[in-house]
Amino acid sequence: MTTPRGADDEAVVHEQASCLRATMLAAGIDRGRLWLYYFSIGGEVSEFELDAYLHHSLALPRLQRDLLAQAANEILVDLAPPRAPYAADLTDGPTTPAGTVPADHGSAPVQDCDEMDRNDPRI
């Protein structure tokens, strides 16, 4: 028997759900937040169906699983702290030691780190 194009076997569905659940646990993303974000980007399953999927009681179509992964990944971007800048990020050109590869200069805007420090009692 052949599988319809775009359909995945049970092992793929199970693995994708397990990985999504692990991501949620590691990042502290609760089901409600994931579902709301997922729904806002075009997801079609209910929060109840999402819960069943995460607990391997319901197999979702590939598109819905991928929208859930996209939602989780976009939430992760929002949760990520600002990165620490290299000297080259703060100057006109690369200032890396000889023989090293310069950092990606366009990946994040430079923030006013001093302003952030003054307002944070942990630093």
Model pTM score: 0.64
Which pLDDT does position 115 carry in this prediction? 54
pLDDT tens string 27-78:
999 999 999 999 999 999 999 999 999 999 999 999 999 999 999 999 999 9
Q: Which residue has the higher pLDDT, 89 or 94?
A: 89
Of the two residues 105 and 19, the one the predictor is more confident about is: 19
CA–CA gap between residue 50 and residue 43 (Å, rounded): 10
Distance CA(28)–CA(117), nearest Å, equals 25
Q: How confident is the model at residue 83 (pLDDT cuts 50, 70, 90)?
A: confident
